[in-house]
Chains A and B, each alone.
Chain A
Amino acid sequence: MADLSSSIREEAKKLLKKGEADVIIGFEKGSLPLCATPCFIRNEADVEKLIWNEFCGNNLSRYLIKAKGKVGIIAKGCDTRAIVELIKEKQVQREQIVIIGVPCEGMVDRKQIMMRCQGNKITNVEDRDERLLITGDLLNVAVKKDECLYPGCQVCTNRNPVMYDVLIGSTSEEQQTDEFTDVTNFDGKSSEERWEYITHEISKCIRCYACRNACPLCYCKECFVDTTQPQWVGKTTGQTDTLLFHIMRSIHLAGRCVECGACERACPVTVDIRKLNRKMSADVKKLFDYKTGLDIDQPAPLSTFKPDDSEEFMLDI
């Protein structure tokens, strides 16, 4: 990955200096090896903190709704797709944000690498283009970055920002994958097998809501799952309660999920949360020929009515 940190710093400095942004939301070095962390830069002197590497996985558009003033935001392809939706849903005003688009080559899953290190303490990480050289007391491993990408990044077809004010570096080559092979494969299983898979995944959930809170499109002021009057969903980690939370959340995100994978990255207990959301995306594509977060002027399929909308779900009585 070309070092884009210095270009990002330059751009951030320019925006702050000219007063075109009050704050820049970007990444700084994390406190752990193989880790970057969100940061909020308000002074020109602090732009030196900004970095860019393959560990900048967080979807920073999550912070846009809360942010005050004019905001400059570092955004990958998926992050810009979320911004498109946020603007469409009138949560963010286009003129309030400056998008510093950064082409992405897929983000590396720190936990996959940690597993390869088998609990040995990492003391140094060296970036050698396509590989990371990881060393520690009892450790000397070379890891190919593209073998440790997040599952969402492996099937991503929008590595380049879809909307931006400034583009950093040169565009990435888009992956030519059949977008929904995973969904088709899962659909091919028997209903018992699918039920078993989903209920097993759900059984791991601890209801910490990291998935929801990391999601850029989960911005409801009061989530249905928190409501107490009336209480829609039980609060236990029993199968019914947990499954209901995940299914309802997934349906609420139908046609809105931009498949950034923030939910899955945030989950501490490896729940395959994307499984349900991917199915929603595939259905929305099939029923409405719509892919989320690409075009600011394209109406959202589930908030618009067209006389020729697919009505496969209607029952003939």
Chain B
Amino acid sequence: MDYKTIKKSEITEFLDNLIKEYEIAAPIEKDDIVVFDKIKSSNGVILEYSNSVKSPKKFVIPQFETLISYNTNEDTTNVKEHLDEQKQFILFGARPCDARSFLFLDKVFSDEKNRDIYYKNRRDVVLIISLGCTQPQETCFCTTTGGGPFSSEGSDLLLVDIGDDYIIQVITDKGAELVKKLGLKNAQKDELAEMDRVIKKSEAKIEPDLELNNLKDKLDNSFDGSDWETLTEKCLSCGVCTYLCPTCHCFDIVDEEKNRKGERIRIWDSCQFPHFTMQASGFNPRPTYKERYRQRIMHKFSYCIDNYNMVGCVGCGRCISECPVNLDIRQVLTSLYYSMLSGRT
């Protein structure tokens, strides 16, 4: 792997240069919270932050998007597909957990079996420059789900903060091409040693892994267990966890039509909402909070392994820090795991 270096004081210039050629999204503070937003200049970009409240998935799966629009008259129907050409796009300053989430979304929307043209149209132009975590939070559990504070999976370039400079790890060809264009300096030996020290120090700060060997098998046997009910008793069945989650990707498609003109719109949906599974007959297979929360856990930690050979969670901790009732997914998993071990369910 190639390692380049850039002074922190040069980051604004670096970004302003990129803005000339690329569309760029970066973490900024907006209305008292950190969010990823498209930027016009490096002003206001913050790199000393824990993580954004909303995940950056919106750049590849927007909360709502028009797929087609149409109009009809007596003899003809005109349909227009909304696949606008996308400008080259850089997601700058994303955390390694969020970068990994893009790999997961690729499996859902853009593998050999499933190819979602709207997703692919947006995703193909994305280059991710992520920023390793030197200050993991109490809600972080990326190491449990296969990542880490400096995991490079999903990133094209990864920045490591070593004090006055960033080391830039060159992960992919796409990343290498960009670095070449910018003519960055190679990192020196002492800088690489400092990078290793920073990485080790940060990894030690993450809460120890949940010990969840063979969690999937245990979950598969727990479907009818009695613990689900007590574990989800405080759940409000809102969509905070799913909408802030970088890997939750379920959607609804609606047609909005007036005077023979209409649009087909795709919108985020959530398995926590009762209407998500409401059938035309009026029957709902997931009528209560218990079934809906169980679905979220089973989907992430069992079905996703079956379907994509990857856990559907990157351990970013957003569902923990923002849950209105502090329903902590780590506690739920641990609790299920140990009650299953003792054969209580």
Contact = CB atoms under 8 A, between A and B. Distances in A.
Contacts of A268: 53, 240, 244, 322
Interface string A198-234: 0000001011111011100000000000101000001
Interface string B271-302: 00111001000000000000000000000000
Contacts of A207: 63, 239, 243
Interface in B298-341: 320-322, 324-328, 330-331
B38 interface: no
A35 interface: yes
Interface residues of B, number: 47
A206 B57 CA distance: 13
Contacts of A238: 64
A266 B236 contact: yes
A189 B135 CA distance: 43
Contacts, number: 113
Nearest to A215: B236
Nearest to A211: B238
A235 B252 contact: yes
B252 A37 contact: no
Interface in B232-282: 233-234, 236-240, 242-244, 252, 254, 256, 265, 267, 270, 273-275, 278
Interface stretch (B121-129, B136-144, B161-169, B185-193): B136-144
A269 B322 CA distance: 9
B237 A39 contact: no
Interface in A3-47: 30-33, 35-40
B50 interface: yes
A62 B54 CA distance: 26
Nearest to A62: B236
A121 B137 CA distance: 6
B63 to A, nearest CB: 5
Sorted from nearest, which 5 A-B pairs have the closest CB atoms?
A: A266-B324, A208-B239, A37-B326, A210-B238, A31-B328
Given A213-B238, A235-B64, 17 more contacts: A40-B230, A58-B325, A63-B233, A119-B48, A206-B63, A207-B239, A208-B242, A210-B239, A214-B236, A235-B252, A236-B265, A236-B267, A266-B240, A268-B244, A268-B322, A270-B32, A270-B33
27 contacts: A30-B326, A31-B320, A32-B138, A32-B328, A37-B327, A39-B234, A40-B234, A58-B324, A63-B234, A119-B48, A119-B50, A120-B135, A121-B136, A122-B138, A206-B244, A208-B244, A209-B239, A209-B273, A213-B324, A228-B278, A235-B267, A236-B63, A238-B64, A266-B236, A266-B240, A266-B324, A270-B32
Interface of A: 30-33, 35-40, 58, 62-63, 115, 118-122, 137, 204, 206-210, 212-214, 226, 228, 234-238, 265-266, 268-270
